Amino acid sequence: MKATAPLSSNADSEHETNRTMLWRPFCVNYESTLEYFAYGGSVSKRNQVRIVMLIPAFILGGFIFSFVHTGWINFWLAKDPGQTQARIINELSHGVVAYKYTVNNTEYSGQSQRSRDKNEAAHVGEEAPVIFSISHPWLSSLQQPVFPVGGIWGILMLVITLLIESMLIATIINPKGRWSFNTGLRGNE
């Protein structure tokens, strides 16, 4: 025989029973679920640190990827440059324009900041000189390529960012490790 709780006329306990019944198909007690999430449940401090460290790791990883990708594009534009005319088709935000150009009877499109030369700043419908890579014709820019990106300061920032990213990854792997950030877990848990 199944034991049941006595019915109460109290509105609060009836409301609590309804909330528990709502979660019953999921085999979860509403109150214990709230306590689990409110107090961290069974998630250890080590896993909490790992979750928190993922956020800056993804942000810095995106910065590193963008920097390296821009450097790769500028490398190829500087290594084997070609030049042709591009037709500006759209103005985007912050001085970026979309354009189309043709190389070997193939039409390519690209986006770039306008040329820094004021005489070559074309508007929608006009033509502007575009620099493209002969070996990779889909890589192009309206500006002269700069390699390395950011000069010596860009390389220095990349090295510092890589060091911080490696410490974040070390912290995610082992928050109590020697190369991880000091999160207060080395002497605990």
pLDDT score for 172? 92
Q: Which residue has the higher pLDDT, 161 or 44?
A: 161
Q: Is the dihedral of CA 18, 23, 29, 31 positive or negative?
A: negative
The residue ranges of every structural domain in the chain are 11-42, 46-79+150-179, 82-147
Region of residue 93 (left: phi > 0; alpha: psi -120 to 50; beta: else):
beta
Token pair 């449940």: residue: 41
Which range has highest mean pLDDT (17-26, 43-52, 69-78)?
69-78
Q: What is residue 119's DSSP assignment? A: G
SS (H, E, C) the chain: CCCCCCCCCCHHHHHHHHHHHHHHHHCCCHHHHHHHHHCCCCCCHHHHHHHHHHHHHHHHHHHHHHHHHHHHHHHHHHHCEEEEEEEEEEECHHHEEEEEEEECCEEEEEEEECCCCHHHCCCCCCEEEEEEECCCCCCEECCCCCCCCCHHHHHHHHHHHHHHHHHHHHHHHCCCCCCCCCCCCCCCC
Taking only the tens place, the pLDDT of each residue in 5-31 is 555 455 555 545 544 444 444 444 445
124 or 44, which is more confident: 124
- Higher-pLDDT residue of 15, 84: 84
Q: At what angle do helices 11-23 and 30-38 cross, to 10 degrees?
A: 80
- May I ask the CATH architecture of the domain 82-147? Beta Barrel (2.40)
CA distance 73 to 75: 5
Of 49, 48, 57, the closest CA to residue 182 belongs to 49
